[in-house]
Structure 1
């Protein structure tokens, strides 16, 4: 257990993707004392757990070991207006969600960042952020002016020549969309079918912790890394943040003073810490019995995630991956919905050849379909009855009907592509899937579940009538092909199954200093306060058309480059 200093120049709160970047870059100045506090376990070089190194996202199947316990969110409401609430997995481990995710390394599109600049994030247009995308990466496949060759994070793809049978079959099926095949989703910004980019080297995950907290960085005498250290509260004096109270694994609390605090706790925990410190909407803070330090209405507002559906398909044996082939996601389709309220490249679809770590999962392909440019907005608040407990999170995923329309249209398109002789021509063997509580229990890594899923896999491979009976039982009788012909039934299915892709963002958004809804300025500094910066996904004015990990790392690189203690 690292000895905590009583005073530092910079306290970085949260060892996720942004926190690892900030700790690395800010401690590069030997005269700057930096403390990185992470609530989860450490993953130092040479001692990274094998489930984190795995190219398949195994940490998600280890219970709450690597995620925040008890965190949940409302996705949307049912027809009666009742909230649909479900667990919302967020990394609680060094590297944060980069240590548990599917390792997607998608930048998004130039228009995403030009929109940020237009919304008040001056200096965050595409031409401004491209140098930081290049700085963070070593692209193992592509070079030129759009790519970096000596950054800490390796990015690669499994290119078409090396695709296994499933990827080849899915590509042939998706060719029916009429969209061209393209090689580089991070450098070719038109619609098309791409091999997915991911943060991986030698078939092993490279988390932000592995990339930025290497042995040389950890050896710096001016950097202290304290894992299993949870932030209990920010400390304030007037309108200056002066440090934080940290809780150690032994249950003791320690106050640490800092000339500057950098919040990197993520789009859910960063606004929660601000609200508990009295920084947020004044009326809400008073309802929670919290003294108002700074009235910032935007704290916890503007919560965004990509509305998504997961759909599974029974795979013929010839398309299944062997156990030793760990990478399961190979290709993605970026396309334009053409629906009212849509835009170019507003939809995204990925195809994976494994629906779980176990025998049953190896029998199933898995498709993720999401709205790449959503209009819907949610919010985060404290619970007035328990302001120190888990926050009340409402993703508001279909609060804008245009997102429902585009997601339903996407299901019709997916059914038309995936029900194919290249994959499986039987429409009854393409069915809804989700990481529901029951599936989560079945997916927990254990000898019992290995045995149970092996039995279920054998039954699934049995006579077709038995397979269809099993699928009807597992899915509550829903058949996607029938839903697509039934009008309102499809909308009901979307409402009942939509969830986020764990891309929470926007709750401390950047903007102009006179914008009352903005929380931080374009340098990440909290408006109206001294000594406090936010540098994680919460600062995004809008979601990029991408998985959020690489944009978060880019943002932290940019804020670190302009950082001053002030």
Structure 2
């Protein structure tokens, strides 16, 4: 069967597009997703859980072979030591990141989207995108000019009376530091602390798959959803994309369509383009791939938000409990301005996690997770490691490639430390330490019985005498840098940040949208790939710059806007 549109990737963008395009009954849509289905009547309990820590660490829902470089990779000095590869959890399940993420439903700053337009994405300014943010959401708390009431994704905030003692102490520390309380993170964009906005209703996650691919949508005769289906290659006739070769439950099939849309995210969408011969000429020739279209920006200028963490041990009385009404681990956030002369307001963000992982030790460890909301590091890239479609690409984020990001994280760590030592947080926590999301942390975070029993044993010791707990944290938890070291020595603090900074799974900008005369633009403002016909990209890879936000809602907005564009074209 031939289709009008084939969507490759059933994540957040793909779910939106499948719903909106198939709403036109004559428009035949095929949605391909490499991972498993999450039908409304059979959602895995780990995904539906309001606490996201189990889904996020469950390898059933990941591209398990994907590893990336987060530190700067030197290409000018071949003798330089290459930084370590890190696992980078990218979703492989219907709903994509929205099925496993922290359910953070924020939009970014109005200045982000005005910058998009200034960089060549005409028609994508704040006034243009706000209606689509409103179209996405069904806000359960507010009804004003900022919010939508009819969208497919419910949005809400956990009231302060339902916060655990640690979250309340963090809010008190923010207040003591001079920050004002904001009732609505997605209202006027200004500095302050707030209850984080979440895509959640009735204490359950509402992913893009659940919101947009509900039973009524799935019943449409013109929509076909094929899960456990990995795209192998794009099919071209000349320079027109006419279909996709995919492996469905182990069997290779070819599907044809008038148009193909890649919605595979900022790592896998550029990889598909490169394997098809669309990309930088030098790299394609190095890989032995015939050049179909010379598009220098494919895979270039990859971005993420650089992030660090300050963690501490939570006293028993202040911990989260499964009996807590919300079971949410991140309840309060802080947005503030670094006052870097060229940076917009609200360029820094701190999320307070009152539980660091699903297991027994995670319940005992709180973290202040800070990231550079407005990052200037945009020298990352995605390249092919092999022509083999089964091979993951080479991914280099090059975080902290701009010194301004490093300086702001150093200042942020000192600010978080001061708040950590202030009376409200000092009353509910002990033993602060600079935290690293290391391979050891990842390994113990995998959901299995071995880790369940191991963390119970460690947790029992951590709840023992203070001296034992401090020794255990210094000996087995801290990785190379103590709290005293980084607070007393700026060189140690810089070394810690350079080593420990990771992205926050907001991969973006590797197939940027821009003007026709921009040599690094990969798609136009209607998401059409330059140099070929019948092919679009709709996901976070087309962002001109990563916004000051968790990227899920900007992706949903982008897909809503592009769906209207595609339908308007006929």
- Name the TM-score, length of structure 2 as normaliser: 0.95
1:412 maps onto 2:414 in alignment: yes
CA contact (8 A) 1:78 1:84 kept: no
Structure 2, gaps ≥5 residues long:
75-79
1:449 maps onto 2:434 in alignment: no
Q: What corresponds to 1:547 in structure 2?
A: 550
1:33 maps onto 2:28 in alignment: yes
SS at 2:59 equivalent: coil
Deviates more, 1:258-267 or 1:154-163: 154-163
Instruction: State the number of aligned residues.
Output: 560
1:369 maps onto 2:370 in alignment: yes
Q: Which whole-Å CA distance do the structure 2 matches of 1:477 and 1:434 have between them? A: 10
CA displacement at 1:552 relative to structure 2: 0.2
CA contact (8 A) 1:342 1:402 kept: no
Deviates more, 1:516-525 or 1:420-429: 420-429
Structure 1, gaps ≥5 residues long:
1-5
1:557 maps onto 2:560 in alignment: yes
SS at 2:236 equivalent: strand
Q: What corresponds to 1:3 in structure 2?
A: none
CA contact (8 A) 1:241 1:531 kept: yes
Q: Which whole-Å CA distance do the structure 2 matches of 1:425 and 1:496 have between them? A: 30
Cα 1:62/1:111, change in 2 over 3 Å: closer
Cα 1:59/1:38, change in 2 over 3 Å: farther
Cα 1:426/1:103, change in 2 over 3 Å: closer
Q: What corresponds to 1:263 in structure 2?
A: 262
Q: What corresponds to 1:8 in structure 2?
A: 3
CA contact (8 A) 1:314 1:363 kept: yes
1:149-298 correspondence runs (5 A): 149-249=149-249, 251-298=250-297
Q: Which whole-Å CA distance do the structure 2 matches of 1:63 and 1:111 have between them? A: 36
CA displacement at 1:176 relative to structure 2: 2.8
CA displacement at 1:529 relative to structure 2: 1.6
Q: Which whole-Å CA distance do the structure 1 matches of 2:387 and 2:151 have between them? A: 46
CA contact (8 A) 1:310 1:433 kept: yes
Q: What corresponds to 2:392 in structure 1?
A: 390
1:66 maps onto 2:67 in alignment: no
Deviates more, 1:161-170 or 1:23-32: 161-170
Q: 1:478 pairs with 478, 481, 506, which one?
A: 481
Q: What corresponds to 2:135 in structure 1?
A: 135
Deviations 1:213-244 (A, max 9, x none): 00000000000000000000001111111111
Deviates more, 1:427-436 or 1:205-214: 427-436
CA contact (8 A) 1:77 1:84 kept: no
CA displacement at 1:159 relative to structure 2: 2.4
Q: 2:536 pairs with 527, 533, 555, which one?
A: 533
Q: Which whole-Å CA distance do the structure 2 matches of 1:495 and 1:364 have between them? A: 23
Q: 2:14 pairs with 10, 16, 19, which one?
A: 19
Deviations 1:91-144 (A, max 9, x none): 000000111110000101110000000100000000000110010100011111
CA contact (8 A) 1:33 1:223 kept: yes
CA displacement at 1:435 relative to structure 2: 3.2
CA contact (8 A) 1:61 1:445 kept: no
Q: What corresponds to 2:520 in structure 1?
A: 517
Q: What corresponds to 2:432 in structure 1?
A: 430
CA contact (8 A) 2:8 2:263 kept: yes
Deviates more, 1:191-200 or 1:353-362: 353-362
CA displacement at 1:64 relative to structure 2: 2.0
Cα 1:359/1:59, change in 2 over 3 Å: closer
SS at 1:411 equivalent: helix
Cα 1:214/1:163, change in 2 over 3 Å: same
- Name the TM-score, length of structure 1 as normaliser: 0.96
Q: Which whole-Å CA distance do the structure 1 matches of 2:419 and 2:182 have between them? A: 18
Q: What corresponds to 2:467 in structure 1?
A: 465
Cα 1:296/1:59, change in 2 over 3 Å: farther
CA contact (8 A) 2:318 2:428 kept: no
SS at 1:193 equivalent: strand
Cα 1:19/1:179, change in 2 over 3 Å: same
Q: Which whole-Å CA distance do the structure 1 matches of 2:73 and 2:565 have between them? A: 45
